[in-house]
Chains A and B, each alone.
Chain A
Amino acid sequence: MKLTLKPLAIALAAATLAVSAQAQEKVKIGFITDMSSLYADVEGKWGASAIQMAIDDFGGKVLGQPIELLTADHQNKPDIAASKGREWIDTQGVTLLFGGTNSGTALASAKVAAEKKRVYINNGAGSSALTNEQCTPYTVHYAYDTVALAKGTGSAVVDSGGKSWFFLTADYAFGHALETDTATVVKAHGGQVLGTVRHPLNASDFSSFLLQAQSSKAQILGLANAGGDTINSIKAAKEFGITKSMKLAGLLVFISDIHSLGLKDTEGLLLTTSWYWDLNDDTRKFANRFFEKNKRMPTSVQAADYSATMTYLKAVQAVKTADADKVMAQMKSTKIDDFYASGMIRPDGRFVHDMYLMQVKSPAESKKPWDYYKMVAKLPGDKVFTAKADSKCALWK
């Protein structure tokens, strides 16, 4: 028995060494997001496409080795996201865990990355807890968060007279965070919250919830949901005439949602976004390249996927290692300035950049395909993200 075990032990030790040696040398990006369900158009396989574009533009190699991209579908299940992340880090030597849409999965993945000491970047998920109560030294929350959405859309709507609110909330981490953050902003601006109803994720019929909202007599219906849920809420609100007595405030709306619903049903909707393809020449240049490849305009999250990948690869190149601590230190000390955004990653992991308050155009105002938004205001990054006084993150004290 002893004889047979010995070579096995040696082989195992060699294999472990090989994996850890490889982990230091080769940069592997493990991208896990919703590839098939209600958020798949917000990021999904087109997010992977954006990351691949960044890798290709970078030259395909870093530290003298080809950069590898792994992708997986977490099916909106935190347990799948966590176990896949663990598997990738343990057996594939993934150096960057790239998390996608769905806050439940993002919070689970961030924990795994912190435990294994790997860089964790997230664009698609909204929960502000990622860089607040549950912040870790390895998390970078790159694109947007629920606090920014709340301060953007929430304050704009209250200030323009929408004082009483009712929330239609997706019943999980993200929806709760968005509702709480927006309610705080609404109250701070002198508004009030008359009620809330929480619907299961990926619900198909919203009419019942909408009638409850209507009977509250609130002026504003805050949609604290996303993707397919937002689309079906807006569609049903129109059908049941809710929009005659209440104004909708989409707290997280993506261009893919507007594209699906059409301008007729969404005209006038206020929303906050981290990026829009038609802002300036740089954004249009990226958008058109993306469109060539994918036959659709990028969402803000997909644009952020490209930018975040570039930021990470530049940091790896600068410190000449994929070691997570060194890469994180480099990323947090370097100014980011590209077609997506310009700003710094704060000690709590939050990438602070400007956000945009947009309004959906009317069909008459829209002059070309995907011409959906007009800018209402540019929201300065230091105003819209969590202020230091409100932060519960131990890393930022």
Chain B
Amino acid sequence: MEIFGRPLSAMLSQLLLGLVNGSFYAILSLGLAVIFGLLNVINFAHGALFMLGAVLAWMGLEYLGVNYWVMLFAAPLIVALLGIVIERLFLKRIYKLDHLYGLLLTLGLTLVIEGVLRSFYGVSGLPYSAPEALSGATDLGFMVLPNYRAWVVLASLVVCVGTWYVIERTKLGAYLRAGTENPRLVEAFGVNVPLMVTLTYGFGVALAAFAGVLAAPVIQISPLMGQNLIIVVFAVVVIGGMGSILGSILTGLGLGIIEGFTKVFYPEASSTVVFVIMAIVLLFRPAGLFGKEK
């Protein structure tokens, strides 16, 4: 059986691979959406913190002998702490200013973090193997899927759905959403909004680090690994609608799949297809697919 002149099995395998890449997009854009929703900050440091998560995983194994599973939780925690420091030291001073200041500040942080690691480790990257339990591959008939990639999809779906549930369905989430709408009113009800904002930023960047540890065995760990990804992820957030939680998850997965198919039909365009879609979406829905017009 063939679709557009390509065998069905090839299409199925591309669908699956697209889903794997989409999972990374989903976690990363989710973090960005959460941060933008409450802090109104366009967090350009997201890619660098994603990379930091991966580098921490490598450091844990290399210097301390700490395995993947421990680092999967430890690295996001460390990055969350760093995020809290960043928020307290820098970000909280610029909430009243234009978006541009947040963007410049976080871009500056990115350059510092990437530059420091580049001078230590170069750009070729550091080797990191998938954990023993997930190392093999499963033959699905139409393709051989490394078990680790299947785990990436599973882990990111669990994290995404969990985050969505907390924000949309729990009391804590209700506070968060109310804080987004009208921080002063929420504060009048006795909720500590500044603390909530700090923790939200910490959580958002922890998601980035989590994705980083997930990516460590897949992409060679290098100070550059966040750069390419983050531009795409920003496009994902714009397409999904700034600040929309569900929108960013669905768009992330969807665009991963579209990108996957592009790699079959016209591979040269695979790095641009996301931006073409972004332009089209912005033409017809300036607030993004799931965003609300203000």
* Residue ranges of A at the interface with B (Cβ–Cβ < 8 Å): 36-41, 44, 171, 197-200, 202-205, 207-209, 211-212, 215, 227-228, 231-232, 235-236, 239-241, 256-257, 259-262, 265, 296
Contacts and interface: CB of A to CB of B under 8 A. Distances in A.
Give 8 nearest A-B pairs by CB, closest first. A260-B124, A200-B271, A208-B263, A41-B124, A40-B123, A41-B122, A239-B146, A260-B125
Contact of B224 (A38, A207, A236): A38
B127 A262 contact: yes
A212 B268 contact: no
Contacts of B21: 205
Contact of A240 (B122, B144, B228, B270): B144
B10 A260 contact: no
Nearest to B261: A208
B271 A231 contact: no
Q: How large is the interface on B (under 10, 10 to 19, 20 to 34, 35 or more residues)?
A: 35 or more
A261 B21 CA distance: 22
Contacts, number: 104
B224 A212 contact: no
Contacts of A296: 122
Contact of B125 (A39, A198, A228): A228
Interface in B198-239: 218-220, 222, 224-225, 228-229
Nearest to B18: A208
B162 interface: no
15 contacts: A36-B118, A37-B123, A37-B224, A39-B123, A171-B267, A197-B267, A198-B268, A200-B272, A204-B219, A207-B149, A211-B10, A215-B10, A228-B222, A231-B220, A235-B220
B263 A239 contact: no
A240 B146 contact: yes
Interface in B245-271: 260, 263-264, 267-268, 270-271
Interface of B: 7, 10, 13-14, 17-18, 20-21, 118, 122-127, 130, 137, 143-144, 146, 148-149, 218-220, 222, 224-225, 228-229, 260, 263-264, 267-268, 270-272
Nearest to A202: B228
B13 A211 contact: yes
Contact of A199 (B137, B143, B222, B267): B267
Contacts of B225: 204
A215 B57 CA distance: 34
Contacts of B270: 199-200, 203, 208
Nearest to B144: A241
Given A198-B267, A208-B260, A241-B137, A41 B228 contact: no
A212 B264 contact: yes
